[in-house]
């Protein structure tokens, strides 16, 4: 490497207006810019997440008004996907030793009676006991 190219490699690189941009220096060995650090991900709390999801779901009303039957079919597909998420959530809450939710707790969370929740998701009643045995083997 010549002395001229070595000094050019260590020169600061400025993109855009030099008065408003920060200067990033190149690597003295390879001449490339260093990788930009990743921004930390913002923590999403439950309230903001719920508000964003409800906003998207409620936007389907305007979409149906504008697009008609095609958007209605999309809304049905979203409902089917949400049903799968709810089923998986109930299964997790029932079978996970971390949660081990009762049918009364699930009923309160879903807005159903205890017996209606138990009847709807009866297939998830095989929560494992602490000893590793299924609930139907005592």
The token duo for 25 is 């220096």
Across 51-60, 85-94, 101-110, 128-137, least confident range: 128-137
Report which of residues 46 and 11 the model is more confident about. Answer: 46
Distance CA 12, CA 113 (A): 68
**What 3-state DSSP class applies to 12?**
strand
Across 8-22, 65-79, 118-132, least confident range: 8-22
pTM for the predicted model, two decimal places: 0.55
30-45 pLDDT per residue, tens: 878 777 766 666 666 8
74-127 pLDDT per residue, tens: 999 999 999 999 999 999 988 888 888 899 999 999 999 999 999 999 886 654
Question: Of 89, 79, 132, whose CA–CA distance to 110 is shortest?
Answer: 89
Quick check: 116 and 125 in contact, CB under 8 A? no
């Amino acid at each position: 490497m010549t002395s001229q190219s070595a000094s050019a490699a260590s020169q600061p690189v400025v993109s855009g207006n030099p008065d408003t941009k920060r200067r990033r220096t190149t690597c003295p060995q390879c001449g490339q810019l260093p990788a930009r650090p990743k921004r930390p991900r913002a923590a999403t709390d439950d309230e903001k997440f719920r508000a964003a999801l409800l906003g998207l779901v409620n936007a389907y009303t305007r979409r149906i008004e504008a697009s008609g039957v095609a958007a209605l079919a999309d809304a049905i597909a979203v409902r089917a996907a949400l049903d799968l998420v709810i089923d998986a959530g109930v299964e997790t809450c029932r079978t996970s030793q971390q949660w081990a939710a009762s049918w009364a707790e699930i009923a309160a969370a879903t807005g159903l009676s205890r017996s209606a929740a138990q009847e709807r998701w009866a297939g998830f009643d095989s929560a494992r006991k602490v000893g590793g045995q299924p609930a139907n083997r005592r």
